[in-house]
Amino acid sequence: MEFENEMKLEFISKSANEAFARISVAAFASQLDPTIEELADIKTAVSEAVTNCIIHGYDKRQGIVKIFARLKENEIILEISDKGKGIENIDMAKEPLYTTKPNLERSGMGFTIMESFMDKVDVESVVGLGTKVTMSKKIKNKIENDDDEEEFSMITNE
């Protein structure tokens, strides 16, 4: 499989770097000419995946979070990984509101949010070795977006 472009990003598992990751991936994804909504979806999913690495993967210790992003035609494929403690039961972890950190605000919705904003989400994890979340999203091409706007304006008589 040949990709049109790709990038790799590594950073220390500090909460301050979550925004850096989100903005970096958004800048990379902008090559596909996404709508503002599509870009917001990607940024939100990246934020959730990176936050999971920092809070759950590394817990209170420092490690490296890696992002590998690829573009193919009108799709972005993201791999976000850590070498943290891993997930014992992925199916349970993906259940809405399940959390190992009930004291934290917004806990238990990370995977649910990723799945709702991306077209595909796959989670691989080995206890003691880390976790990799692979997500993808197809970006509507410019013609499809223009057609949607035209259709909307016909419906609203604008």
Could you write out the three-class secondary structure of the chain?
CCCCEEEEEEEECCCCHHHHHHHHHHHHHHHHCCCHHHHHHHHHHHHHHHHHHHHHHCCCCCCEEEEEEEEECCEEEEEEEECCCCCCCHHHHCCCCCCCCCCCCCCCCHHHHHHHHCCEEEEEEECCCEEEEEEEEECCCHHHHHHHHHHHHHHHCC
Mean pLDDT calculated for residue range 129-153:
75
Between 9 and 111, whose confidence is greater? 9
| Catalytic residue list | 48, 52, 106
Question: How high is the mean pLDDT of the chain?
Answer: 87
Given this model, what pLDDT does residue 119 score? 97
**Domain tally for the chain?**
1
List pLDDT tens digits, range 33-50.
999 999 999 999 999 999
List pLDDT tens digits, range 66-102.
999 999 999 999 999 999 999 988 888 887 766 666 6
Per the structure, the complete domain to which residue 77 belongs is given by: 5-156
Given this model, what pLDDT does residue 60 score? 86
User: Any idea what the CATH number is for the domain that residue 70 is in?
Assistant: 3.30.565.10
